[in-house]
Amino acid sequence: MAIRLVAVDVDGTLVTADQRVLPRVQAAAQRALEHGIQLVLCTGRAPGECWYILDALPQIRYAVTQTGAIAQDLKTGETLYHCPLSPDDARLIYSHVRRYDGLVNFFSGGIVYNSKEQMARFERYYPADFRWLFEQSHEFVDDLDAMVAGWGKPVEKLYVPFSSQEECERAMADLTKLPYFVTGAGYIDLEVMNPNTSKGIALAALCKKLGIPREQVMAIGDSGNDAAMLDFAGVGVAMGNGEEALKQKADLIAPTNEEGGVADMLELAIKGEI
């Protein structure tokens, strides 16, 4: 069956290391739309962290964000699927991640909150090249502990990059004892979400809304949190720069993100060669 929807991860997949959408990817996305193929973001990011990607790819109408916590129609603002954590669940998770040396990202209502104190040590946890993204799309608070203690809204996820691999492993061993979905996003990090969702579950819900069977879906990613959407899709693609475990389960291996590998996969779908 012809591919009608291509779900694509962002970091390590759609964009280069310096956060560019290559011209060949932009051109392929336009050709895909002209051939009736929807390009859908399927990312761990919040929508507000994707503004420059959507500027480069105005063809994109639908997005699964925050690692599957929500799916939205970006043109109308309609929420098509939502599976967040309760405030109490988020507080419990927060109490655990605060035991470790990491930069806590608290996702709620499309906004990502960080502690000003932790942001002062940003480079301890995350590449310096990403500071601009946080500064332009996150909200920094004086006392994140107090904010979380009084929080009363649904929480899409918590994401934490750590100061070392050892610290990340300690946190992972702790968090995986709790009844939540815990995964990594391709750095020295982890993210924690409602156990009843993932990129794959949210993508399935979106496809059901759009009337597109899984056999007509291709999913492209590079890291562990992409595994569920590759499992769901009729065609699962791992990037050439992706994690080895993901490559093992993929149907196809694309060129790297630095080469614009997403464009190659879109062209195969356009030509009906998948």
DSSP letter string, the chain: ----EEEE-IIIIIS-TTS---HHHHHHHHHHHHTTPEEEEE-SS-GGGGHHHHHH-TT--EEEEGGGTEEEETTT--EEEE--B-HHHHHHHHHHHTTSSB--EEEETTEEEEEHHHHTTHHHHS-GGGHHHHHHHEEEES-HHHHHHT--S-B-EEEEEBSSHHHHHHHHHHHTTSSSEEE--SSSEEEEE-TT--HHHHHHHHHHHHT--GGGEEEEE-SGGGHHHHHHSSEEEEETTS-HHHHHH-SEEEPPGGGTHHHHHHHHHHHT--
pLDDT of residue 184: 84
Of the residues 193, 208, 239, which one is the last residue of a structural domain?
A: 193
Across the chain, which has 274 residues, the per-10-residue mean pLDDT values are 94 95 97 96 95 96 97 96 98 98 97 97 94 97 98 98 97 97 88 96 97 98 94 97 95 98 97 90
Q: What's the pTM value of the predicted model, to 2 decimals?
A: 0.92
pLDDT of residue 16: 97
pLDDT of residue 124: 97
- 189 and 128 in a single domain? The answer is yes
- 79 and 201 in a single domain? The answer is yes
pLDDT of residue 185: 79
pLDDT of residue 160: 97
Of the residues 193, 210, 238, which one is the last residue of a structural domain?
A: 193
- 107 and 185 in a single domain? The answer is yes
